[in-house]
Amino acid sequence: MTQIKQSHLSHVQRLTKYVLMGLIVVIATRYIPDNIIQTKEIIMIGATSSIAFAILDMISPAITIQQSQQANSEQPTKALVEA
């Protein structure tokens, strides 16, 4: 795969994550509260959550925990690694 196609695929995946997060929040905001919330407000809440998720994803993308064995220790140590 060329570098351009990988970059485009990465952007599409990120955009899909943000839109999906917004839709989940919109659906939850629509059906969970007992009081009726206006559609405009529901959309604003969903958009705000998507934007906040995007900002957090860009600031601290993916942090994984790797386990490594020390030479003389039976207990593994945990190390944070940014992916």
Q: In terms of DSSP H, where are the helices of the chain?
A: 3-31, 39-59
Contact 42, 22 (CB under 8 A): no
pLDDT at 24 over 80: yes
Give pLDDT, residue 40.
Answer: 97
Burial class (CB in 10 A: 0-12, 13-18, 19+), 50: buried
pLDDT at 82 over 60: no
Q: How many domains does the chain have?
A: 1
- Structural domain boundaries enclosing 50: 3-82
CA distance 67 to 74: 12
pTM of structure: 0.66
Give pLDDT, residue 2.
Answer: 73
How large a percentage of the chain has pLDDT more than 90?
49
User: Phi then psi for 81, rounded to 5 degrees?
Assistant: -130, 130
